[in-house]
Structure 1
Amino acid sequence: MNEKATHPAAVLWDMDGTLIDSEPYWIAAETELCRSFGVGWTHEDGLQLVGNPLLVSAQVLIERGVDLEPEEVITYLLGRVTAQVRERTPWMDDARGLLDAVVSAGIPCALVTMSYSMLADAFVSRAADAFAVVVTGDQVTHGKPHPEPYLTAAERLGVDITRCIAIEDSPAGIGSAHASGAATIGVRRLIPVEKRPGLSRVASLAGLDVDMLGRLVDGHVVDDFGETA
């Protein structure tokens, strides 16, 4: 049997928190912005925004007391985080290892992020030619947890979404990927990964290889956490 026959049609990657450890950059930027308006903002507050569309996060910050228009909030946050990613791209080692293996196997990849093109472009420029398609938050009508971002990525790649693997870390992102019909891996980073039917949950991507991704597309599920998150 041809081993490649069981490989995924494509691997669809979240960016913030999954491929790069950028969530601390986002939380720091939110904290700085809130402080400039005399508004308190904690690490736990920042965790609540992980994986959300930027417009949703901006609205939360405005409701907390940041006296700016939503697009002004987004521009500030994106500018701060993009500058830091350009200065130092904080790769997750386990994700980079798996990405390299997937690319070496000739499997197409898409980046599916709720960050806007400014930040995605800064990251992709550091990722060689790993991504055939990039879908960003400013390119879709409905952001995560709606399935549109992942369905858009599969459509642009010309592949069946049900033969794709999606890799995510946040509740919104996992919800989006799972609803799209992709075989979804939830990797635990900052936030627990809740159990869902058919969802694979891992403590690290380091234990995964291309053959395992093929088995997941064929319906196999892995779960490092049992009944816990």
Structure 2
Amino acid sequence: MIDIVASGVLFDMDGTLVDSTSVVEGAWGRFGAAHDIDPRTILAFSHGRQTIDTIRHFLPDLPPAEQRRVAEALVADEVENTRGIVEVPGAAAFVRRLVDAGVPVALVTSAPRDLALNRMRAAGVPVPQVVVTSEDTGQGKPHPEGYLRGAELLGLSADRCLAFEDAPAGVESARASGATTVVVGALESDATVGIPRVHGYDGVEVTVEGSAFRIRG
């Protein structure tokens, strides 16, 4: 159960609003096969992080220019592949409820902009007016820069915002920014202890309370 009052909402994308599991597992599976790395190990690290940070982690000896080339090739493949992408249950309707209620909403994702917009549209989830992507930050999750930037663009401090996240790096990022954090899905880690959780957005209610709003579900 959640019952939280805030002034704005910050959403991660993959696993939080959009289920792109089949595309992500396929891309990193091919990468793992090409470099003799167990895809499960890659996925455990990569979730919630920028692609370039994952490439640097697993291929640290590559020259920086080659790391960027590999990352760009992976992203280009994912941008074009939207087959099987769906919304997290209730995500589209929940975002619409927030927007209709006048709640300031931002998307804060580790994905590049073209990839993020393609996935949101493929899943049928409305794209908020404020979108913070990998191009907009110098440091990716788990650093809090993205969430701090998203809150700033909403005209709010992060501690007045509610952040929805599903990945370890993302939860760290959101919490470090000062945002009240809700876990989406089944993630269990030291970082999620005591944090409210939803497994989807069906039945989550939004009510306006003066200049703030309350989310219950």
Amino acid at match of 1:167: F
1:134 counterpart SS class: strand
* Equivalent position of 2:19 in the other structure: 21
* Aligned twin of 2:152: 155
Q: Is the 8 A contact 1:82 1:118 kept in 2?
A: yes
Matched letter for residue 87 of structure 2? W
Measured against aligned partners, the alpha-carbon deviations of 1:136-179 in whole angstroms (never above 9, x if no partner) come to 11210111111110010111111232221110000110111111
Q: Does 1:109 align with 2:126?
A: no
Q: Which amino acid aligns with 1:148?
A: E
Q: Distance in 2 between matches of 1:8 and 1:42?
A: 38
Cα deviation, 1:54-92, whole Å, max 9, x if unaligned, reads: 222112342599xx821122112212221122x554211
Which ranges of structure 2 fall in alignment gaps of 5 or more residues? Answer: none
TM-score scaled by length of structure 2: 0.81
Of structures 1 and 2, the one scoring higher in RCO (CA 8 A, sep 6+) is 2
Structure 1 position 207, deviation (Å):
4.3
SS of equivalent residue, structure 1 residue 93 = coil
Aligned equivalent of 2:163: 166
Query: 1:28, 1:59 → 2: CA distance?
Result: 20
Distance change >3 Å, CA 193–CA 209, structure 1 → 2: farther
In 1: Cα distance, 2:184 partner to 2:203 partner: 11
1:93 is matched with which residue: 73, 89, 105? 89
Shift of 1:128: 7.1
Matches of 2:38 and 2:25, distance apart in 1:
9
Root-mean-square deviation (Å)? 3.0
1:84 pairs with 35, 60, 81, which one? 81
CA distance in 2, matches of 1:207, 1:64: 49
Change (3 A) 1:35 1:64: farther
User: In the alignment, residue 94 of structure 1 is paired with which amino acid?
Assistant: G
* Partners of 1:30 and 1:41 within 8 A in 2: no
From 50, 55, 72, the equivalent of 1:53 is 50
The amino acid that maps onto 1:182 is A
Over the matched positions of the two proteins, sequence identity in percent amounts to 31
Q: Is the 8 A contact 1:23 1:50 kept in 2?
A: no
With 11-20 and 97-106 compared, the bigger mean Cα shift is at 97-106
Larger CA deviation: 178-187 vs 47-56:
47-56
Q: 8 Å contact 1:186–1:193 — kept in the other structure?
A: no
Q: CA deviation at 1:131?
A: 0.5
Of residues 180, 184, 188 in structure 2, which corresponds to 1:183? 180
Q: What residue in structure 1 maps to residue 131 of structure 2?
A: 134
Contact 2:159 2:180 in 1 (8 A): yes
Query: Does the residue aligned with 1:69 lie in a helix, a strand or coil?
Result: helix
Distance 2:191 2:31 in 1: 34
Aligned length: 208
The ranges of structure 1 where at least 4 consecutive aligned residues each deviate by more than 6 angstroms after the TM superposition are: none
Distance in 2 separating the partners of 1:203 and 1:24: 19
